[in-house]
Chains A and B, each alone.
Chain A
Amino acid sequence: MENRIKTLFEQKPQGLLSVYFTAGYPNLEDTVPIILELEKNGVDLIEIGMPFSDPLADGPTIQQSSTIALRNGMTIPKLFEQLKYIRKYTQIPLVLMGYLNPVMQYGVERFCQEASEIGIDGIILPDLPLSDYVREYKSLFEQHNLSKIFLISPQTTEQRIREIDSHTNGFIYMVSSASVTGGTNGNALANTDYFQRVRHMELQNPGIIGFGIHNRATFTEACNHASGAIIGSAFIKALAREGSLQQNIQTFIQSIKQEA
């Protein structure tokens, strides 16, 4: 079965722009309009955040967008209802990103099945450990043609990166530096040894860099080290600006893609 993530990386191995947003933020019904506007502006891949009350790996921006999204009434059933007909309108690769507990309560099997029916291509659950995934869920994800995307950080050992690489089939999410999302201690991309180390490992999966990528300069720099980059917190901040959703998205994405 074809997987849109795989096709994307074959067609565009360099300079991919992936954007993360929190479903239900700024308004409950913004999910589909945001996806369509991102695609229109030339974004290559979209990560849809499923809000959680206690997002351990997230900095203040995504904590806040998650709190607002939950207050707006976002839930997994609501998100799936919004996305039900999304494949009539766009073929852009879509990845769901969230924490394990809400997915566990929904039922992992039911979650995979319904995500797959909608046409979701991949899932990121940062707090689902590799060992549990391999033992309990891998066959389920594969059966539903869902890529399980794993994170690595500068502290991840080569052995573990290879292990992760062997169990995944979409891309590897390279956390730029030791940090939660959004803020970093100084330059997110200073650790060039890490990027080189990963590149020289010649993994079967492509890598894209996230955490701390927030403008054209950091995006371009990240693309020098991997197949592309992910922007999350900076995009969420842009959504909060004055003006229409369409305008904010267009202005922000153009500021990333085009030279000033």
Chain B
Amino acid sequence: MKYTVDENGFYGRFGGAYIPEMLYPNVEELRLNYLKIMQEPDFQEELQSLLKDYVGRPTPLYFAKRLSEKYNTNIYLKREDLNHTGAHKINNTVGQVLVAKRLGKKRIIAETGAGQHGVATATVCALMGLECIVYMGEVDIERQAPNVARMKMLGATVVPATSGSKTLKDATNEAIRDWINNPEDTYYIIGSVVGPHPYPDMVARFQAVISEEIKAQLKEKTGSENPDFVVACVGGGSNAAGAFYHYLDTLDVKLVAVEAAGLGVDSGESAATSVLGREGIIHGSRTLLMQTEDGQVTEPYSISAGLDYPGVGPLHAHLHQSGRAIFESITDDEALQAVLELTRLEGIIPALESAHALAVLGRIGAKPNETIVVNLSGRGDKDLTTYLDRFELHGK
């Protein structure tokens, strides 16, 4: 079975480019050029140099000794939280901003949920001297205030999305409308493996550096480049796509995708798309989608702004349907427990999103001689207010 994108932009039956004609010229321009641009030697040289000296790659693969002891197995953390700006998102924005420059675009737009992609976009725009507009749901602006402040500091304009659930889905709608309104000079940096083809493939390729490094680092540490499990959280799914990418065809490596169950999968307040969704169209892609019987998109819920999305990238829909990846879901409370556990056992405060991946460690049944790599996609600085509230640490 083929897990990467086919020549028509599909992953199995998922993917494609279901977009209004007004977006067609821009998306088509990108489709015809992205692979060519990404293969150019000067592009690769600029990208690799920025990833190394600006982003801080390679990120460490850290053997988490105390966590491993607790779960009686071997746990490695891929430290994407140590990237510049604090998450994996910048792997993609560095790549896409270089694509945008080569396409001659002057104005950059982006959507953001937790604000990590917005910050990563604002950062590379500051670096390149490009105008930057970030759409962010009104609810997310409130719950991720530190990232809003960072974007403003970086010179970006943060525009609140006030429709629907006022979260990531609605921010994405607004970014797409902006692109329709500005078809000539604007480039849309999508932050996840979602949207019309070629975005899911392009973003996965830029994030694939994660699994490329895991392979080399694990080989050095254990003698084998293949772990038994790779675990990553999935909202749209970009960090998981990057962590899985070079293992997709290595069937011995079990891929574990962790979605946000919110208050519980059956509670009506959840973002576990693989359980609650069925095939549909969102943001230009045919994928699994949480929707009503009539095909109206339903409003997801998760404590984590980065996982609060009613769809999932088409690659992940395909991995789910084909059985290549195991899908788990983790509630708000379980994720919060995992935050505290990692913080107190290893001295690392993870982002709420990444904590969902950590929370399945006790569940996947790894044996003492097996190896798990967890993609620690981001750090928890942006979530400190939530943590202090939930752990009742104020004033202590």
Which residues of A come within 8 Å of B, CB atoms?
Answer: 52-54, 56-57, 59, 63, 67, 70, 75-76, 99-106, 126-129, 132, 150-153, 155-157, 160, 175, 178-180, 185
Contact = CB atoms under 8 A, between A and B. Distances in A.
B295 A180 contact: no
B20 A127 contact: yes
B294 interface: yes
A156 B182 CA distance: 14
B104 interface: no
B60 interface: no
Interface stretch (B133-141, B144-152, B212-220, B278-286): B278-286
18 contacts: A52-B296, A53-B164, A54-B169, A54-B282, A56-B283, A67-B163, A75-B294, A100-B281, A101-B282, A102-B294, A104-B280, A126-B21, A129-B17, A129-B18, A150-B21, A151-B21, A155-B184, A178-B180
Contacts of B42: none
Contact of A156 (B25, B169, B293, B295): B25
B343 interface: no
B182 A178 contact: yes
Contacts of A106: 294-295
A219 to B, nearest CB: 22
Contacts of B19: 56, 127, 129
B180 A179 contact: yes
A179 B23 CA distance: 10
Contact of A59 (B177, B284, B294): B177
B180 A57 contact: yes
Contacts of B284: 127
Contact of A152 (B21, B183, B289): B21
A67 B299 CA distance: 13
B281 A101 contact: yes
A56 B163 CA distance: 12
Contacts of A100: 18, 281
Contacts of A54: 164, 169, 173, 282, 297
B16 interface: yes
B3 interface: no
Contacts of B282: 54, 101
Contacts of B297: 53-54, 101
Contacts, number: 99
Contact of A178 (B16, B173, B183): B183
Interface in B253-294: 280-284, 289, 291, 293-294
B176 interface: yes
B71 interface: no
Contacts of B26: 155
Nearest to B186: A178
The 3 closest A-B pairs by CB, nearest first: A105-B295, A102-B295, A126-B20
A56 B179 CA distance: 10
Contacts of B20: 56-57, 126-127, 151
A157 B181 contact: no
Contact of A180 (B17, B177, B184): B177
A143 B284 CA distance: 27
B10 to A, nearest CB: 11
Contacts of A185: 181
Contact of A151 (B17, B22, B281, B289): B22
Contact of A155 (B25, B169, B295): B25
A153 B183 contact: yes
Contacts of B291: 101, 105
A63 B177 CA distance: 12
A179 B181 CA distance: 4
B43 interface: no
A95 to B, nearest CB: 16
Nearest to B29: A155
Contacts of B281: 99-101, 104, 127
Of the candidates A54, A105, A150, A153, the one having the most CB atoms from chain B within 10 angstroms of its own CB is A54
A182 B225 CA distance: 55
A76 B26 CA distance: 32
Interface string B285-315: 0000101011111000000000000000000
B24 interface: yes
A183 to B, nearest CB: 8
Nearest to A175: B22
B185 to A, nearest CB: 11
Contacts of B184: 155, 178
Interface string B33-62: 000000000000000000000000000000
A185 B284 CA distance: 24
Given A101-B282, A127-B281, A180-B181, A76 B22 contact: no
A63 B163 contact: yes
A129 B24 CA distance: 9
A63 B173 CA distance: 11
A132 B22 contact: no
Contacts of B18: 100, 127-129, 132
A152 B22 CA distance: 7
Given A54-B164, A179-B181, A102 B296 contact: yes
Given A104-B280, A126-B21, A153-B183, 5 more contacts: A57-B177, A99-B281, A104-B281, A150-B21, A157-B25
A184 to B, nearest CB: 8
Nearest to A58: B177
A153 B296 contact: no
Contacts of B177: 56-57, 59, 180
Contacts of A129: 16-19, 24
Nearest to B21: A151
B278 to A, nearest CB: 8
